[in-house]
Amino acid sequence: MKNLIGPHGSEVLLPLYIKDNDVRQGLIQESKSLKKITLNSSAASIAVMLGAGYFTPLSGYMDKKNAISVAKSMITKDGLFWPVPIMNLCQCVAGIEVGDSIALLDPNIDGNPPLAIQKIESIEELSDDEINEIAKNVFGTNDANHPGVENFLSCGKFLVAGDIQVLNYSYFPEEFPNTFATAVEIRQKLENLGWSKTVAFQTRNPMHRAHEELCKMALSGIKADGVLIHMTLGKLKEGDIPGDVRDKAIRKMVELYFPPNTAIISGFGFDMLYAGPREALLHATFRQNCGCSHLIIGRDHAGVGDYYGAFDAQKIFDNPIVKKSLNIQIFAADHTAYSKKLKKVVMMRDVKNHAKEDFVLLSGTKVREMLSNGQELPLEFARKEVAEILMDYYQSR
């Protein structure tokens, strides 16, 4: 059997979740007597990703030198490629000191149970200039209207660095029992299926006809064994469709419209950054850790508003550091849409003699407006069964 693509920066996955139940229960008990800080949602989702092996080979939260180096050059001080800083930023660090083991409390579960234990290696304050520099490098802007920048600026100035031991996967296994999976579990599933060539599709939205056909184009174009439809289950910006609704819609589409045994539906516990090109690189890095050989990168991947050029997220993969560091390949796609002339979904760059009005194109705002008003989406845009699930959600709000 052909081997899966190897993890990033390691021979094997390095999940930080404490698998041994006795050891883990002992740490949970110990955490009750430790000093505590409540994480922000971003840092909590990082802990989940570290625990699940997605962020192999990292062993915890970065210090200032590493965070700034990664923001600037995508390289840690030890020479490891990593596309975005992995930080535990805090508003207040009163009462904790270097050398302490502290309990990191989960902000997203009632009662704030311990999510992880961190050994503090450093506590550093970021200056306003350093915060702005990190934002500009990671998000391409320090405009506070950008949802990723707005969230980053709200997290605090104090950087608490050090290795962590992860005690659970927060709310994800309970809220998404059939969807949330670790990188370890996905890699094992691909091995069991014998899929050596898997293309990943990243989504934070329900999948319309264009997304469905894009996955099928990628499957055919690279002769893949199957597609991993891999959805963000963490916090999104206001107006995005909740994870449970998206999950239901995607499952219905795959059940009815994909050939049997060609798609895995899964999800990961990370909050969206909306960081465009840098987030595309992060998506590729942790899909390599999952065992995927390819990742679909379409128009404005992980973008928001007009902050990024349409194909910036594809161009960044031509960076020499990226080419040298990642083994996963991208399937570079254009916008896909239904052609009224050809009566099928096409990649817009591949068809000639088409004007904008020859395609069925609906903005997210227009889709939400139609569904809220009880108007049916065009069949050329969305599968009827998918549209019904979305309609039920919008009508029940």
Give pLDDT, residue 243: 86
Q: Is residue 205 flagged as an active site residue? A: yes
Please give the pLDDT value at position 342. Answer: 96
Q: How many CB atoms lie within 10 A of CB 350?
A: 11
Question: For residue 339, what is the domain's CATH number?
Answer: 3.40.50.620
Note down the domain range covering 259: 177-268+274-396
Is residue 220 a part of any domain in this protein?
A: yes
Domain boundary among 170, 192, 207: 170
What pLDDT, on the 0 to 100 scale, is given for residue 237? 77
Gap between the Cα atoms of 378 and 370, Å rounded:
10
- The predicted pLDDT at position 333 comes to 95
Is 383 catalytic? The answer is no
Domain boundary, last residue among 139, 170, 201: 170
The residue out of 170, 189, 208 marking a domain boundary is: 170
8 occurs within a structural domain: no
User: Do the Cβ atoms of 114 and 167 come closer than 8 Å?
Assistant: yes
Helix (H) or strand (E) holding 102: strand 101-105
Are 377 and 246 found together in one domain? Answer: yes
Three-state DSSP at 151 gives helix
Domain count, the chain: 2
Per-residue model confidence (pLDDT) at position 205: 87
Point out the catalytic residue in the list 24, 205, 319, 368.
205
pLDDT per residue rounded down to tens, the chain (397 residues): 468 999 999 999 999 999 999 999 999 999 999 999 999 999 999 999 999 999 999 999 999 999 999 999 999 999 999 999 999 999 999 999 999 999 999 999 999 999 999 999 999 999 999 999 999 999 999 999 999 999 999 999 999 999 999 999 999 999 999 999 999 999 999 999 999 999 999 998 899 999 999 999 999 999 999 999 999 999 877 777 888 899 999 999 999 999 999 999 999 999 999 999 999 999 999 999 999 999 999 999 999 999 999 999 999 999 999 999 999 999 999 989 999 999 999 999 999 999 999 999 988 789 889 998 999 999 999 999 999 999 999 998 8
Whichever domain contains 53, its CATH number is 3.10.400.10
d(CA 156, CA 116): 20
The pLDDT score that the predictor gives to residue 238 is: 77
Examine residue 228 and state whether it is found in any structural domain, yes or no. Answer: yes
What are the b/e assignments for 16-38, b being 16+ CB within 10 Å? Answer: bbbeeeeebeebbeebeebeebe
List 204, 251, 319, 368, catalytic entry = 204
